[in-house]
C-alpha cells in the first residue's frame, strides 16, 4: 500500500508543528480524514485501560461503565460461556460480577480475550501515513 502523501510547504510546516502532540486544528483533522484512504497499519495497538479496582465488580452498572470507557463493550459481551443460557445480569436476583468472575484478574482476562477477537476481525490498531515535501518526510 502506498502510504506516502506529498503536501505543500505550508501543510508540511503545520503538520510538523503538531508532531508528537494532539490537536483539534480543523486543517489537521480534515487532512487526517482525507488520508484514511492511504494509511497502513503498524501491527501495534494502543489501548488506554481505565483504572480497575475490586469495587468495580460490585455491580453490573459499574462493569458496563468501565467497559464503555475501555472501548464500547458491555457486560453481555464478556459473560463466561458456562453461565446458564437465560442468565440476565440485570435481573434483581442475579449474582454480582465479583461472583461471576471471581477476581479483577479473571475479569480482565475475559475482557482482553474479547478485545483480541475484535482486533482479529478486521483492520484495527495504530495506523500511519508518511507525509512528504520535497526530500522531507514526516510519519
pLDDT tier at 92 (50, 70, 90 boundaries)?
Answer: confident
| Same domain flag for 21 and 61 | no
| Same domain flag for 29 and 58 | no
Which is more confidently placed, 132 or 128? 132
| Same domain flag for 39 and 73 | no
- At 62-77, the pLDDT tens digits run 999 999 888 777 888 8
Contact assessment for residue 75 and residue 67, using Cβ atoms and an 8 Å cutoff: yes
* Closest C-alpha among 16, 45, 43, 46 to residue 28: 16
Q: Could you give the number of structural domains in the chain?
A: 2
Q: What is the pTM of this model?
A: 0.59
- At 107-129, the pLDDT tens digits run 999 998 888 877 776 556 777 88
Mean pLDDT of the region 84-107: 90
Q: What is the span of the domain harbouring residue 8?
A: 4-45+124-138
Amino acid at each position: 500500500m502506498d502510504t506516502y502523501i506529498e503536501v505543500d510547504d505550508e501543510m508540511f510546516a503545520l503538520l510538523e508543528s503538531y508532531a508528537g502532540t494532539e490537536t483539534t486544528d480543523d486543517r489537521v483533522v480534515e487532512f487526517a480524514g482525507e488520508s484514511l484512504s492511504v494509511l497502513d497499519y503498524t501491527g501495534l495497538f494502543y489501548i488506554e485501560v481505565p483504572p480497575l479496582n475490586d469495587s468495580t465488580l460490585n455491580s453490573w452498572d459499574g462493569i458496563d461503565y468501565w467497559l464503555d470507557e475501555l472501548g464500547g463493550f458491555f457486560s453481555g459481551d464478556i459473560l463466561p460461556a458456562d453461565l446458564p443460557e437465560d442468565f440476565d445480569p440485570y435481573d434483581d436476583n442475579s449474582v454480582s460480577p465479583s461472583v461471576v468472575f471471581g477476581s479483577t484478574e479473571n475479569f480482565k482476562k475475559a475482557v482482553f480475550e474479547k478485545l483480541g477477537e475484535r482486533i482479529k476481525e478486521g483492520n484495527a490498531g495504530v495506523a500511519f501515513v508518511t507525509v512528504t515535501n520535497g526530500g522531507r518526510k514526516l510519519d
